[in-house]
Amino acid sequence: MKRHSEEEVQKLLFTALSTPSEEGLSMDFSTKLRNKLQEKLQYKNRLRFYGGWALIFVVAITILFFGLLLLDSAYDTHITNSIGEHKWLFIITFPLLFLIQYLDHITIKKNRFKEINPGKNK
Amino acid sequence: MFDERATIPKILSGDLRAFDLLVKQYERLVFHICFKLVNSNDDAQDICQEVFIKVFKSLKSFGYQSKLSTWIARIAYSTALNHIKKNKRDSFHQYPDDVENHHFTLTDPENELIKKDVNKYINYLITQLPHQYRMVLTLFHLEEFSYQEIEQVTSLPEGTIKSYLFRGRKLLKEKLEGYLKNEIS
């Protein structure tokens, strides 16, 4: 029987250390990754879109309120007082509008998903 | 040929096809790092995905101060390490200096198959080493990283890297000699 020399053992060890394992990434790894990234980018864009509109809305309401304040002081119309009396109506209505918009968006997204992947949702 | 100077600006402008090229270029490196650290193919796949998402998100902070491969390897190393810490799989990670006294376990019948192939046997032994040794051996021998690059990836001093390499190889060589003797007799 052949006995291994020191050099041969060293060579065997170095070969084993530089040999990659049989395991590897799945064939569809990059496709899955790209889909996930696309989802994340879409989510970010949606957030930016709705955030932008929310900001515009808040700025518009603020300008309107200060405009009414100016109008009140100039012509003594008491419009801001009337708004103050019905403030809960405004506080509830606007977030409700956003909630409806969001629910509508989610429903549309779910329906579209069903159309694309009918088998998965059975 | 992958040109990182041309590809990175494209990725930063949101080009996912350019990012695909980056993934193809570095998926082997990332997988080797993750797989050697977590010792599970399924976990390694998930961590690789997490790593590339992190790469995509933080690519704008890459300042070409190191090689892109080193920068990506560092992200892969820290992500896989966090996974190990979370799952508390690696009981050695606090005691890498005890490696000489470590007793390898290779007794159950399933492992008898491993004993028949030198490469598989060595790779199996590596899985039982502390993660610092596994990482240093993988980056040096499999990925052909220099000491400086391994230092950038692992934050270990160069002297420690050399010591881990020497001690890891010595231990594996002793085991291999024993294995070859048994194979002959």
A52-87 residue pLDDT tens: 988 998 899 889 888 888 888 888 777 878 888 888
Residue B87 half-sphere exposure toward CB, CA atoms < 13 A:
13
pLDDT at B56: 94
Please determine, for residue B109, whether its predicted confidence score (pLDDT) is greater than 60.
no
Contacts of residue A19 in chain B, CB cutoff 8 Å? Answer: 119, 123, 142
Look at residue B147 in the predicted model and tell me its pLDDT: 96
Is the whole model's pTM more than 0.90, yes or no? no
- Would you call B27 and A21 a contact, using CB atoms and an 8 Å cutoff? no
pLDDT at A119: 43
Please indicate, yes or no, whether residues A42 and A32 belong to a single structural domain of this protein.
yes
Q: Using the predicted structure, report yes or no on whether residue B103 has a pLDDT greater than 70.
A: no
Q: Sort out which chain A residues have CB atoms less than 8 A from B119's CB and list them.
A: 15-16, 19
Residue B99 sits at φ, ψ, to 5 deg, of: -60, -35
A52/A110: higher pLDDT: A52
SS3 B51: helix
Range of the domain at A115: 86-122
How close B159 comes to chain A (CA, Å)?
21
Q: Is A41 within 8 Å of chain B by CB?
A: yes
- A105 lies in the same domain as A66: no
Q: Are residues A69 and A33 in the same domain?
A: yes
Indicate the number of domains in chain A.
Answer: 2
Q: Are residues A62 and A97 in the same domain?
A: no
Would you give the distance in Å from CA A13 to the centre of its chain?
Answer: 49
* Cβ distance of B53 and A33 shorter than 8 Å: yes
Question: Per the domain annotation, does A36 fall within a domain?
Answer: yes
Whether residue A12 lies inside any domain: the answer is no
Could you tell me if residue A51 is inside a domain? yes
Which chain B residues have a beta carbon less than 8 Å from that of A27?
none
A53 lies in some domain: yes
* Lowest pLDDT segment from A34-48, B4-18, B94-108, B142-156: B94-108
Confidence of residue B115 (pLDDT cuts 50, 70, 90): low
Choose from B29, B45, B136, B164 for mutation: most chain A CBs within 10 A: B45
> Under an 8 A CB cutoff, do A17 and B48 touch?
no
DSSP 8-state secondary structure symbol assigned to residue B140: I
Whether A2 and chain B come into contact, CB under 8 Å, resolves to yes
How high is the pLDDT of residue B89?
Answer: 58
Pair (A43, A92) in one structural domain: no
Model pLDDT for residues B156-165, shown as the tens digit of each residue: 999 999 999 9
Dist CA B36 CA B124 (whole Å): 10
Q: Which residues of A touch B123 (CB under 8 A)?
A: 16, 19, 21
Same structural domain, A74 and A94:
no
Predicted local confidence at residue A121, as pLDDT = 41
Q: List chain B residues with CB under 8 Å of A13.
A: 122, 169, 172-173, 176
Residue A8 lies in a domain: no
- Residue matched to tokens 């304040």: A69
- Does the structural domain B1-89 have CATH classification 1.10.3720.10? no
Same-domain pairing of A49 and A66: yes
**Which of A33-47, A86-100, B48-62, B111-125 tops mean pLDDT?**
B48-62
| Minimum Cα–Cα distance from A4: chain B residue | B180
Q: Do A16 and B118 touch (CB under 8 A)?
A: yes
Q: Give the phi and the psi of residue B67 in degrees, each rounded to 5.
A: -70, 150
For B20, which of A21, A26, A34 is closest by C-beta distance?
A: A34
A109: contact with B, CB 8 A cutoff: no
Residue B102 is predicted with a pLDDT of 62
Helices and strands counted in chain A (H then E): 4, 0
Residue A101 lies in a domain: yes
Q: Does domain B90-185 correspond to CATH entry 1.10.10.10?
A: yes
Give the gap in angstroms from C-alpha A54 to the nearest C-alpha of chain B. Answer: 25
Residues A111, A69, single domain; the answer is no
Same domain flag for A34 and A62 = yes
What average pLDDT does this structure show over A31-35?
Answer: 91
Are A90 and A75 within one domain? no
For chain B, domain boundaries: 1-89, 90-185
Residues A35, A56: one domain?
yes
Residues A79 and A36 in one domain: yes
A19 occurs within a structural domain: no
